[in-house]
Amino acid sequence: MLQDDKELSEVSSAATSGEASFFQEKRHFDFLAETLVSDLKAGASLGRKQHVRIWSAACSTGEEPYSIAIAMLEAFRDAPESEPAIYQPQGWHIEVVASDIELATARERVYPEQSVSGLSPAVRQRYFLRGKGNKTGLVRVKRELAELVHFQHVNLLESDWPIDGRFDVIFFRNALTYFDPETQERILRKMLRLLEPHSYLILGQSERAPSLGRAAMQIGNGIHQSRPRGTVRYIGKERRTRPRSTAQGKA
């Protein structure tokens, strides 16, 4: 049951002692499950892509990108609660890119058991291994889940980011305070250019980005939609974009 690449009890490095936990600011992960996945499924029914890419742009010790992967898998999941995890839902490809300057803890994927205390027992069993022996009190992200997360060293202060392609969502939460206003604006606008049209930039719930102006519209606590064409309405589990011409015609 505890077999991974090694028994968790043989992991040499200790888990981080910080206060980070999985699914922090949970409403952002609810947004992925309730709105993003709904939109993706609706698009797929019209023949659009079934490949979703999400970037955790300041992933720190790794709880955020692994939480993103779990949220997406659970949202696509169509199986009894007692069944094991399905790591690539039928017809879909999920990719999470996680970046920061230092990635050792995130790559090691070992955390205090308390950091997953907010997850249901079934979810913990699907995606984590429990430590034993001198590793009691620790958990490790299962290898199959970790394979959905691709780590990349990125210094956001540099002019060139080694990031290819576009994303459906970029998470950049609770990191703005580390930068001056001019640098904040430069980073955020650069991130918006890496988003697919009508995709999402997610900041911390208490963070504000007034410098974005019309480049993005805030549709929830920390949730911004990139360059919307028309009137965006976000109400609970639903998000609808109304074409500008239609809106004007009804005015």
In a domain, 10, yes or no: no
22-70: per-residue pLDDT in tens? Answer: 999 999 999 999 999 999 999 999 998 899 999 999 999 999 999 999 9
**CATH value at residue 152:** 3.40.50.150
Residue 234 forms beta bridges with which residues? 239
Mapping DSSP to helix (H, G, I), strand (E, B) and coil, where does residue 151 land? strand
In a domain, 217, yes or no: yes
227-236: per-residue pLDDT in tens? Answer: 755 444 443 4
Residue 104 CB-half CA count within 13 A:
5
Q: What is the pLDDT of residue 49?
A: 86
* Secondary structure (DSSP) of 38-101: HHHHHHHHTT---EEEEEETT-TTSHHHHHHHHHHHHHH--S-TTS---SS-TT-EEEEEEEES
In a domain, 13, yes or no: no
**Tally of domains within the chain:** 1
In a domain, 112, yes or no: yes
Calculate the CA 23 to chain-centre distance: 10
In a domain, 54, yes or no: yes
Question: Which of 106, 13, 115, 97 minimizes the C-alpha distance to 60?
Answer: 106
The residues near 237 (Cβ < 8 Å, ≥ 6 apart) are 34, 35, 38
In a domain, 12, yes or no: no
pTM of the entire structure? Answer: 0.84
From residue 247, how far is each of 107, 216, 231, 241, 250 by CA, in Å?
48, 19, 7, 10, 5
What residue spans of the chain are helical by DSSP H?
26-31, 37-45, 63-76, 104-108, 121-127, 143-146, 181-193, 244-250
pLDDT category of residue 4 using cuts at 50, 70 and 90: low
128-146: per-residue pLDDT in tens? Answer: 999 999 999 999 999 999 9
Calculate the CA 105 to chain-centre distance: 17
Domain membership of residue 88 as a residue range:
21-250
pLDDT category of residue 19 using cuts at 50, 70 and 90: low
Q: Please give the sequence-ordered ranges of beta strands (E in DSSP) within 108-191, or none if there are none.
A: 110-112, 128-130, 138-141, 149-153, 167-171
In a domain, 9, yes or no: no
In a domain, 73, yes or no: yes
The residues near 162 (Cβ < 8 Å, ≥ 6 apart) are 152, 153, 154
Positive or negative CA dihedral for 99, 238, 52, 121?
positive
Calculate the CA 192 to chain-centre distance: 16
